[in-house]
């Protein structure tokens, strides 16, 4: 399999609104670029505010009947969608590996695999929701919040869509989706599946376009009852601002600058190698990536040696090469952004242990950057404070446990984190002091059924598991 996996350009000329494929109100289109070849691989409609109006109208028309549909029927449709996603898993993985540059192994397991679970898990998760509770003379019921506007990012494109759409539909909400215009082709596969399995017209609507046009139209629309947004903190602030005019619920999953605290009693080699993998997943284009590695000052030199050796065993290459660990970044814009941060790190005096701003040798075509490690990074440096969204690790020394916790919490973000120690109890004690929405102990695996979301400017609300369904429910008290 090669990077030019699809020889023809994937053309989508219509939007999916009200259960039909219809022309966009305008005639402009958006080009989708293959991350490893820099060639146009697809085109999608450039939607407008008028298209959002049509989609919201369809979603509102469908809400009354969908919200009253039996829960079991809604779950059955999610299960049917999951099975069709599984049938097309290889196709979806190949598509995302081209759009995004994710290595095919990662695309199969994560990019195409997680959406199967997102929809398939609904049958199990609804059993954990307290749909009705008796409190005194009141019957407290949970009901769907209404029409949901879902605005999703490019880095885990179909998973982030499924993590909103599956629980929203299960809750009884109808959805207007705007996927990222950078990696949108996989969303059309989902729309095709929705149509195939018989999701009622208007329950799921797809409008593609740019954030300042389609995204803002969704966020500010009086017919949208809730906006669920995943993306940058800057864009999340704008969504909140626009949505506030209509006083709708807003759920935000935003940026991170997550600390990975390696304590002095840890197996240093195991901890550092695991930490690098957690930083570089998806070429570092992961909001919960462990990008700040906090290590005992007296072991800084040893950590640098381990990190340099680990990088030498981290091959960068074409996504369809089975040996590739890191593919390209998603776009030229993202590549230049990451390179500018690497240059800033050098300018501000961080120690460059490995990597650099130049393109990896032999990979001048495609949006590739070298995996990079900085050491002796101090908390005030730009690379310690701002989300880079690329394969750049900042190693930061600390003096004692209290100092490590202080540095870990010295950030506007609070999305994820890690603690590594020879003692699980000690690691958990430190983890409780770190202000972050999820934290892994000794390299433990990500759990897609546990709540995902952040503290501080990493957002509001939670996705995944039963908590993800509850985000799309609202409470009613019936006094009896």
According to DSSP, the β-strands at 459-460 and 249-253 are antiparallel
Please say whether the beta carbons of 122 and 210 come within 8 A.
no
For residues 247 and 291, membership in a common domain is answered with no
Tell me what percent of the residues of the chain surpass a pLDDT of 90.
98
For residues 426 and 444, membership in a common domain is answered with yes
Q: Is the pLDDT of residue 2 over 50?
A: no
For residues 213 and 189, membership in a common domain is answered with yes
Tell me what percent of the residues of the chain surpass a pLDDT of 70.
99
For residues 247 and 263, membership in a common domain is answered with no
Q: Is residue 56 part of a domain?
A: yes
Tens-digit pLDDT profile for residues 146-156: 999 999 999 99
Residue 119's nearest CA partner among 170, 45, 156, 56 is 170
For residues 82 and 177, membership in a common domain is answered with yes
**How many beta carbons lie within 10 A of that of residue 13, not counting itself?**
12
Please say whether the beta carbons of 12 and 188 come within 8 A.
yes
The structure's pTM equals 0.96
Q: Is the pLDDT of residue 237 over 50?
A: yes
Q: Is residue 1 part of a domain?
A: no
Q: What is the largest CA-CA distance in the chain?
A: 73
Tens-digit pLDDT profile for residues 398-440: 999 999 999 999 999 999 999 999 999 999 999 999 999 999 9
**Which of 8-12, 73-77, 341-345 has the lowest average pLDDT?**
8-12
For residues 44 and 80, membership in a common domain is answered with yes
**Which of 2-16, 35-49, 218-232 has the lowest average pLDDT?**
2-16
How many domains does the structure of the chain reveal?
2
Tens-digit pLDDT profile for residues 358-380: 999 999 899 999 999 999 999 99
For residues 289 and 437, membership in a common domain is answered with yes
pLDDT band for position 3 (cuts 50, 70, 90): very low
Tens-digit pLDDT profile for residues 206-217: 999 999 999 999
Tell me if residue 478 falls in helix, strand or coil: strand
**What CATH number is associated with residue 317?**
3.40.309.10
Residue 412 annotated among the catalytic residues of the structure: no
Could you give the strand order of the β-sheet that contains 132-135, starting from the edge strand earlier in sequence?
A: 132-135, 138-144, 473-479
Q: Is the pLDDT of residue 7 over 80?
A: no
Q: What is the reported pLDDT for 5?
A: 52
Residue 78 annotated among the catalytic residues of the structure: no
For residues 331 and 269, membership in a common domain is answered with yes
Q: What is the reported pLDDT for 37?
A: 96
For residues 473 and 435, membership in a common domain is answered with no
For residues 99 and 143, membership in a common domain is answered with yes
Tens-digit pLDDT profile for residues 178-198: 999 999 999 999 999 999 999
Q: What is the reported pLDDT for 8?
A: 79
Q: Is the pLDDT of residue 6 over 60?
A: no
For the CA atoms of 448, 449, 453, 455, what is the dihedral angle to 10 degrees?
A: -120
Q: Is the pLDDT of residue 357 over 70?
A: yes
The helix (run of H) or strand (run of E) holding residue 15 is strand 14-17
Tens-digit pLDDT profile for residues 135-181: 999 999 999 999 999 999 999 999 999 999 999 999 999 999 999 99
Q: Is residue 3 part of a domain?
A: no
Burial class (CB in 10 A: 0-12, 13-18, 19+), 451: middle
Q: What is the mean pLDDT of residues 441-470?
A: 96
Where would I find the beta strands (DSSP E) of 414-460?
A: 418-420, 440-441, 459-460
DSSP 8-state class, residue 128: G
Residue in the structure block whose two tokens are 């030019």: 4
Q: What is the reported pLDDT for 374?
A: 98
Q: Is the pLDDT of residue 386 over 60?
A: yes
Rg (CA), the chain: 22
Question: Which of 78, 173, 279, 287 is the catalytic position?
Answer: 287
Backbone angles phi, psi at 394, to 5 degrees: -110, 115
Question: Which of 253, 318, 470, 471 is the catalytic position?
Answer: 253
Give the separation between CA 316 and CA 331, rounded to whole angstroms.
16
The boundaries of the domain holding residue 131 are 10-254+458-479
Residue 45's nearest CA partner among 252, 214, 200 is 214
**What CATH number is associated with residue 188?**
3.40.605.10
Backbone angles phi, psi at 252, to 5 degrees: -125, 130
Beta bridge pairs of residue 252: 229, 460
Residue 142's nearest CA partner among 469, 480, 479 is 469
For residues 207 and 117, membership in a common domain is answered with yes
For residues 76 and 93, membership in a common domain is answered with yes
Q: Is residue 354 part of a domain?
A: yes
Tens-digit pLDDT profile for residues 267-311: 999 999 999 999 999 999 999 999 999 999 999 999 999 999 999
Q: Is residue 122 part of a domain?
A: yes
pLDDT band for position 4 (cuts 50, 70, 90): very low
Tokens, residue 284? 């570092």
Tell me if residue 123 falls in helix, strand or coil: helix
Tell me if residue 310 falls in helix, strand or coil: helix
Q: Is residue 140 part of a domain?
A: yes
Please list, in sequence order, all residues whose beta carbon lies within 8 angstroms of the beta carbon of residue 414, skipping any fewer than 6 positions away. 256, 435, 436, 437, 454, 455, 456, 457, 458
Please list, in sequence order, all residues whose beta carbon lies within 8 angstroms of the beta carbon of residue 37, skipping any fewer than 6 positions away. 3, 4, 365, 366
Q: Is residue 296 part of a domain?
A: yes
Q: Is residue 360 part of a domain?
A: yes
pLDDT band for position 1 (cuts 50, 70, 90): very low
């Amino acid at each position: 399999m090669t990077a030019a996996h699809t020889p023809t350009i994937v053309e989508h000329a219509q939007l999916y609104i009200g259960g039909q494929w219809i022309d966009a109100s305008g005639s402009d289109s958006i080009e989708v670029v293959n991350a490893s070849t820099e060639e146009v691989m697809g085109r999608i409609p450039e939607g407008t505010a008028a298209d959002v109006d049509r989609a919201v109208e369809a979603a509102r028309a469908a809400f009354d009947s969908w919200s009253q549909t039996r829960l079991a029927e809604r779950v059955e449709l999610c299960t049917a969608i999951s099975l069709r996603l599984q049938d097309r898993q290889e196709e979806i993985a190949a598509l995302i590996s081209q759009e995004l540059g994710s290595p095919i192994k990662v695309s199969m397991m994560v990019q195409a695999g997680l959406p199967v679970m997102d929809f398939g898990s609904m049958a199990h998760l609804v059993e954990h929701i307290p749909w009705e509770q008796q409190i005194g003379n009141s019957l407290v019921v949970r009901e769907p919040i209404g029409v949901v506007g879902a605005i999703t990012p490019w880095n885990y494109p179909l998973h982030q869509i499924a993590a909103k759409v599956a629980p929203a539909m299960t809750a009884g909400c109808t959805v207007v989706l705007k996927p990222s215009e950078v990696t949108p082709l996989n969303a059309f596969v989902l729309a095709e599946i929705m149509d195939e399995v018989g999701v009622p017209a208007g329950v799921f609507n797809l409008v593609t376009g740019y954030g300042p046009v389609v995204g803002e139209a969704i966020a500010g629309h009086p017919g949208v009852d809730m906006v669920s947004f995943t993306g940058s903190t800057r864009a999340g602030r704008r969504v909140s601002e626009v949505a506030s005019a209509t006083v709708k619920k807003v759920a935000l999953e935003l940026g991170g600058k997550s600390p990975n605290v390696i304590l002095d009693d840890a197996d240093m080699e195991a901890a550092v190698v695991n930490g690098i993998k957690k930083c570089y997943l998806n070429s570092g284009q992961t909001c919960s990536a462990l990008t700040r590695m906090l290590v005992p000052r007296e072991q800084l030199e040893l950590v640098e040696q381990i990190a340099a050796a680990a990088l030498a065993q981290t091959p960068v290459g074409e996504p369809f090469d089975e040996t590739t660990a890191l593919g390209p970044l998603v776009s030229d814009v993202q590549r230049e952004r990451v390179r500018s941060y690497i240059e800033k790190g050098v300018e501000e005096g961080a120690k460059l242990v490995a990597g650099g701003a130049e393109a990896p040798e032999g990979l001048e075509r495609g949006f590739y950057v070298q995996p990079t490690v900085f050491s002796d990074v101090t908390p005030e440096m730009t690379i310690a404070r701002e989300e880079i969204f690329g394969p750049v690790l900042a190693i930061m020394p600390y003096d004692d446990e209290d100092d490590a916790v202080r540095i870990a919490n010295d950030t506007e973000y609070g999305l994820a984190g890690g603690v590594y120690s020879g003692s699980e109890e000690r690691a958990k004690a430190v983890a409780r002091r770190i202000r972050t929405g999820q934290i892994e102990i000794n390299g433990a695996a990500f759990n897609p059924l546990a709540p995902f979301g952040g503290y501080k400017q990493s957002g509001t609300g939670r996705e995944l598991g039963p908590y993800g369904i509850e985000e799309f429910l609202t409470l009613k008290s019936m006094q009896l």
